[in-house]
């Protein structure tokens, strides 16, 4: 504030306590970690759409206000390094925010429905955030696995028909493949797991990890965007972001 | 455009941009898209940024323009005052959270009664704490105009809050 500037209302002793309270509250407002994650994901999705020449940055109800895909593509083409820089910066912001403001949350919904499998999920060690991700083995192939299975604007609800013990066995198998880093098997196994089962969250996490480890970076990041939108409170979200959005070594 | 410039813009201004858009009348459902829009514009324009003003005034200038475009957007429905002022206080006690929500709602309501020009100056000065010289740079208007807008905005906000408080007190008395 320069010398000529008037005293701000929040510093003015004659201001009412209510006004000071309101201003203080307004100044301290900040986006939630989930909102930050979604903004990040949208920026990444814009980049991904630009890189692939596809339209449709977002399927959110307010997508009308996102910039035209062609404009985004032109922008990102001029600044390809941003694609690498952006995730790490946002990741730091999100994690700091999350650590400061978010209480620990349960990993997944439907825990009561599937105690045995959840126990497996909880015992499984997430990918270490300190370990650099493996180098992508190839940048090829659009991924057919996700298409049609996880519509980006659709949050799967639990289908009672998908709660069978066979489904539980399948998710255990997937989690074992994840733990053993057998990514091709993960992708194969997730194909036979119902996306509307109680294990949808674990399934999507496994798909995202497998895609990333197999070098399908754009698919993994668009999957992460969907995951952030569909499971904003998931305990898997922060580890996934560390894994997927961390800059390559 | 350098990595460090982008890093500075993003890490330093993301919360402020989000907050400013919110207080400039962008609805909660559109807030993420509009925040994204500010940074896409900022990053697209960064190569042409000549450094005549600070990064801060430059970014907030984009923020005002995005908010203005949003207001003109036909897809935007009428502003719902105070619709988004609740979620931050989940860790407060219910009583405290209620008081905070109420004060935020009152402020949002007061802001919605200002003209766009008054609201811009008030939000930038009283909430984002920019200096008046920075605000004059952003708006490109004479300093006296900016001061007049701030004065008028303050008067309106204070009157709104005062009258609301009086109404609340009177209703409490009558009910007790």
Dihedral (Cα; A23, A24, A27, A31), 10-degree rounding: -110
Task: Choose among B22, B30, B157: nearest Cβ to A65.
Answer: B30
Share of chain A above pLDDT 70, in %: 47
CB atoms within 10 A of CB B72: 8
Residues lower than pLDDT 70 in chain B: 1-8, 75-101, 168-173, 175-176
Looking at residue B80, its pLDDT comes to 52
* Closest to B60 measured CA to CA, from B43, B75, B42: B42
CB atoms within 10 A of CB A55: 12
The arithmetic mean of pLDDT across residues A133-157, rounded, is: 34
Q: Which residues from B are below 8 Å from A46, CB to CB?
A: 36, 40
Q: What is the pLDDT of residues A49-99, one digit of tens each?
A: 554 544 333 333 333 334 444 444 555 555 555 555 566 666 656 665 655
Interface of B with A in 53-82 (CB under 8 A): 70, 73, 75
Q: How far apart are CA B91 and CA B106, in angstroms?
A: 21
Q: How far apart are CA B176 and CA B174, in angstroms?
A: 5
Average pLDDT, chain A: 63
Residue B14 in contact with residue A93, Cβ under 8 Å?
Answer: yes
Task: Choose among B3, B30, B133: nearest Cβ to A62.
Answer: B30
Phi, psi values for residue B140, rounded to 5°: 65, 30
Burial of B53 (0-12, 13-18, 19+ CB in 10 A): middle
Q: Which residues from B are below 8 Å from A79, CB to CB?
A: 1, 43
Q: Which residues from A are below 8 Å from B157, CB to CB?
A: 9, 19
Q: Which residues contact A86 (CB under 8 A, 6 or more apart)?
A: A40, A43, A44, A47, B6, B10
Q: Which residues from A are below 8 Å from B99, CB to CB?
A: 21
Strand, coil or helix: B161: helix
**Cα Rg for chain A, rounded, in angstroms?**
21
Q: How far apart are CA A248 and CA A245, in angstroms?
A: 9
Share of chain A above pLDDT 90, in %: 2
Looking at residue A130, its pLDDT comes to 38
Q: Do B14 and A60 touch (CB under 8 A)?
A: no
What residue of B is the nearest CA neighbor of A40?
Answer: B36
Strand, coil or helix: B152: helix
* Closest to B127 measured CA to CA, from A25, A237, A166, A18: A25
What residue of B is the nearest CA neighbor of A62?
Answer: B30
Could you tell me the end-to-end alpha-carbon distance of chain B, in angstroms, rounded to an integer?
A: 64
Residue A202 in contact with residue A194, Cβ under 8 Å?
Answer: no
Q: Which residues contact A135 (CB under 8 A, 6 or more apart)?
A: A248, A249
CB atoms within 10 A of CB B155: 11
A233 touches chain B (CB under 8 A): no
Q: Which residue has the higher pLDDT, A16 or A71?
A: A16
Q: Do B15 and A31 touch (CB under 8 A)?
A: yes
- The CA distance from B64 to the nearest CA of chain A, in Å, is 15
Task: Choose among A58, A61, A79: nearest Cβ to B43.
Answer: A79
CB atoms within 10 A of CB A135: 9
Q: What is the pLDDT of residues A183-206, one digit of tens each?
A: 888 888 887 777 777 788 888 888
């Amino acid at each position: 504030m320069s010398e000529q500037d008037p005293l701000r209302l929040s510093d003015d002793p004659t201001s009412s306590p209510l006004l000071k309270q309101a201003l203080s509250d307004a100044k301290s407002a900040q986006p939630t970690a989930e909102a930050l994650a979604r903004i990040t994901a949208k920026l990444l999705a814009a980049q991904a759409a630009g890189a692939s020449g596809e339209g449709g940055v977002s399927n959110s109800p307010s997508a009308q206000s996102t910039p035209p895909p062609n404009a985004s593509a032109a922008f990102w083409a001029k600044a390809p390094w941003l694609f690498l820089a952006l995730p790490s910066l946002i990741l730091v912001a999100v994690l700091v925010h999350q650590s400061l403001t978010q209480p620990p949350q349960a990993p997944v919904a439907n825990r009561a429905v599937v105690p045995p499998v959840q126990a497996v999920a909880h015992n499984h060690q997430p990918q270490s955030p300190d370990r650099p991700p493996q180098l992508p083995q190839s940048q090829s192939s659009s991924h057919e696995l996700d298409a049609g299975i996880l519509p980006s604007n659709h949050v799967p609800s639990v289908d009672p028909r998908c709660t069978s013990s066979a489904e539980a066995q399948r998710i255990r198998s997937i989690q074992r493949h994840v733990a053993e880093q057998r990514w091709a098997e993960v992708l194969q196994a997730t194909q036979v797991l119902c996306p509307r089962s109680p294990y949808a969250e674990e399934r999507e996490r496994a798909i995202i990890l497998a895609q990333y480890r197999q070098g399908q970076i754009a698919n993994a990041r668009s999957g992460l965007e969907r995951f952030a939108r569909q499971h904003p409170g998931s305990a898997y979200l922060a580890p996934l972001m560390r894994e997927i959005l961390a800059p390559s070594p | 455009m350098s990595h460090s410039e982008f890093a500075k813009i993003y890490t330093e201004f993301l919360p402020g941009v989000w907050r400013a858009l919110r207080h400039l009348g962008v609805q909660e459902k559109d807030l993420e898209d509009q925040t994204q829009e500010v940074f896409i514009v900022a990053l697209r324009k960064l190569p042409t940024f000549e450094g005549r003003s600070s990064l801060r005034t430059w970014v907030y200038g984009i923020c005002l323009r995005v908010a203005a475009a949003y207001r003109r957007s036909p897809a935007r429905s009428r502003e719902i005052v105070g619709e988004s002022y609740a979620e931050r206080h989940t860790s407060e006690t219910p009583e405290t959270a209620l008081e905070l929500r109420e004060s935020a709602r009152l402020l949002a309501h007061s802001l919605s009664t200002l003209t766009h020009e008054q609201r811009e100056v008030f939000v930038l000065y009283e909430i984002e704490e920019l200096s008046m010289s920075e605000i004059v740079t952003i708006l490109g208007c004479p300093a006296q105009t900016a001061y007049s807008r701030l004065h008028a905005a303050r008067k309106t906000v204070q009157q709104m809050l005062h009258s609301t408080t009086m109404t609340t007190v009177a209703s409490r008395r009558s009910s007790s």
